[in-house]
Structure 1
């Protein structure tokens, strides 16, 4: 039905999201965060994960059930992560997809079908890989 008067339309700030944590996990501030079946976890090597961005605070749900705690994730930014020495992202990979190894490391390839996409490579320098989420 069309509006008949002014209204305050609810909104979300798309850069920040809050997601329920999986049972038995701890996510450290600054970690690469992924969703696994709708629950947040620190990044790890697996297929089918959805990369979200960077955790804003440390959240410990090691003694909790799924959804007992939530993690705030910053998205739509470029973050620096470690470059896997055994499968390094190179300057020639800028603009391409890199892949999640763990909560602080990305790699050039999907590890023969074992890794999920992390995001787009924005830059590579001696400090690591800058990843757009």
Structure 2
């Protein structure tokens, strides 16, 4: 293509909201950690190795009776506080800057659970209420 010779309206996206189609037979609750599977459809985070965690679901979306992609879910990127895992897999302040792993749609852990969990994001902070993860 040739270089521009006149102004061009170039559309933009902020990058802080995504709206992927939701996997069929799936319900994602508002406030859940949300991901896309290997097929590119949105699902709640869970213990699985094929997920790409996107962030926090901004709405509850019920695609229980729909086909893959029949509805979309608004998912925000940013830094969100999730529940901390228990015992030896609990995240501490010493882990800030490391990768956290998804246990379910609201819990993160220090380890990948012997290669059974997907990366949730980077540990941004830890407090007495949970773990702040950057997505």
The alignment's TM-score, normalised by the length of structure 2, stands at: 0.94
Aligned to 1:91: 93
Aligned to 1:123: 125
* 1:2 CA drift (Å): 1.5
Aligned to 1:5: 6
RMSD over aligned CA atoms reads 0.8
Number of aligned residues = 132
Moved over 4 A (4+): none
Aligned to 1:74: 76
* 1:52 CA drift (Å): 0.3
Aligned to 1:65: 67
Query: What are structure 1's unaligned runs of at least 5 residues?
Result: none
Higher strand share: 1
Aligned to 1:51: 53
* 1:14 CA drift (Å): 0.6
Whole-Å Cα distance in 1 between the matches of residues 11 and 128 of structure 2? 43
Aligned to 1:112: 114
Partner SS, residue 70 of structure 1: coil
Whole-Å Cα distance in 1 between the matches of residues 94 and 11 of structure 2? 43
The alignment's TM-score, normalised by the length of structure 1, stands at: 0.96
Whole-Å Cα distance in 2 between the matches of residues 57 and 49 of structure 1? 20
Does residue 36 (structure 1) correspond to residue 29 (structure 2)? The answer is no
Partner SS, residue 74 of structure 2: strand
* 1:6 CA drift (Å): 1.4
